[in-house]
Amino acid sequence: MAIQRVETPENIGVGGSISLRWAFMLITTLFFMWGVSYGLLDVLNKHFQETLSVTKAQSGLLQAAYFGAYFIVALPAGYFMRRHGYKAGILAGLALYALGALLFVPAAMVNNFSVFLFALFVLACGLGCLETAANPYATVLGDASGAERRLNLAQSFNGLGQFVGPMIGGSLFFTHATQDAAQESVKTTYVVIAFVVIAIALLFKRTALPDIREAASEHAQQPGATLWQQKHFVGGVIAQFFYVAAQVGVGAFFINYATEHWHGVTNQSASYMLSVAMICFMLGRFFSTWLMGRVKPAAMLAAYALINIVLCAVVMLGAGDVSVVALIAIFFFMSTMFPTIFAMGVKNLGPSTKQASSFMIMAIVGGAIMPYFMGLISDHVSTAVAYGLPLLCFGVVLVYALRQRRAL
């Protein structure tokens, strides 16, 4: 089991020692906040198609800017944390998150898609810092044997944020008759988010978090072994790339798919259906966290990947409301994949955990690539056929899960 050391004065506040449990509770607020941001992203995708007359492929550039930022910022964030610790990384991420949200003000004023992309890129740079810090921090705030379960629990609140995001976007972004009024609602939403993020940053600034140091253990990598010689880590990076590609692609064109295949569904009602999907995502994480106490994480990951392959095939059939229901169900079985792959990939890496986390976050760039290609297929063939790409991605996750299951 990895050694954890809680030192003073870093972990001493006004009320005395900060417990691992309280630190974990505080960290979950970050998961919720970047969940809200991600939940809004898929609504913005359809919103800008309507208000700025961009194609589906062009709207996929939103995801490219968002997840491309993760790829760019992950390694610098990991290096920054190795020098200054998890708390400094969290504060830097919150500052960039707030700045990016405030940049939506000038973007709305000029009503230009490229400026919106830049604002989203800056915001996502902050989220990349937060994920690089918070994901590994959650795994080490306790016994190593419970790392996957602990990260799944924290990520459950990310699912709650992803449910709230489409509800906000659906109720505000599609209810205005004029383009100016529609962008005004986008601006107001992100200004409110910026102030909430600033408040959270002040809370973190005033709170002394436990100083967790990852040390080598009996299960850690062998002396002289490089990070890239760890098969569970390398496989985890590959699986994470394809999983995030699948997750982002599934959500990016959800509203398009629902309006095309369920008769009478509007953009606004499809946004609410996306919130239902996010409820399934959230419930899936809570349920899977409970189930993980009884079923090995690798076995659960394999089962969920296989089920999603079947569900994607049903979505590709374009069988009306039945296929839309299958699309919603995919979210439930995607729920546990990111935290499980992440925890399995960085497990027992000792002092290399922060560096490994950076590469795992860089793998999120899969989400930057997938929507553009799905958009091209949607523009030239159909949205239903485009869901063949997530099907292939879930196949890669299945292979990784089966290999990890045999390795345990």
Q: Identify the band that residue 18 occupies on the pLDDT scale cut at 50, 70 and 90.
A: low
Q: Is the pLDDT of residue 128 over 60?
A: yes
**3-state SS assignment for residue 13:** strand
Look at residue 12 in the predicted model and tell me its pLDDT.
36
Which of the residue ranges 106-110, 152-156, 177-181 would you say has the lowest mean pLDDT?
177-181
Which pair of tokens denotes residue 308? 């999603």
Residue 267 has pLDDT above 90, yes or no: no
- Per residue in 129-154, pLDDT (tens digit) is 888 888 778 777 777 667 677 777 88
Q: What is the pLDDT of residue 176?
A: 61
- Strands 16-17, 12-13: pairing is antiparallel
For each of the domains in the chain, give its residue range(s) and CATH number, in order of start.
20-209 (1.20.1250.20), 227-407 (1.20.1250.20)
Count CB atoms within 10 A of the CB of residue 5: 11
Check residues 186 and 181 and name the one with the higher pLDDT: 186
- Cα–Cα distance measured from residue 87 to residue 255, given in angstroms and rounded to the nearest whole number: 37
CA distance 257 to 334: 18
- Pick the more confident residue, 255 or 85: 255
| Rounded distance between C-alpha atoms, residue 117 and residue 121, angstroms | 6
Average pLDDT over residues 28-51: 86
CA distance 68 to 70: 5
Integer CA distances (angstroms), 245 to 305, 334, 394, 397, in order: 14, 12, 9, 11
Average pLDDT over residues 337-356: 81
Averaged pLDDT for residues 72-91? 85
Buried b (16+ CB within 10 A) or exposed e, 223-254: eeeebeebebbebbbbbbbbbbbbbbbbbbbb
Summary mean pLDDT of the chain: 84
Greatest mean pLDDT among 130-134, 194-198, 347-351 lies in: 194-198
The residue with greater pLDDT, 389 or 290, is 389
| pLDDT level of residue 16 (50, 70, 90 thresholds) | very low
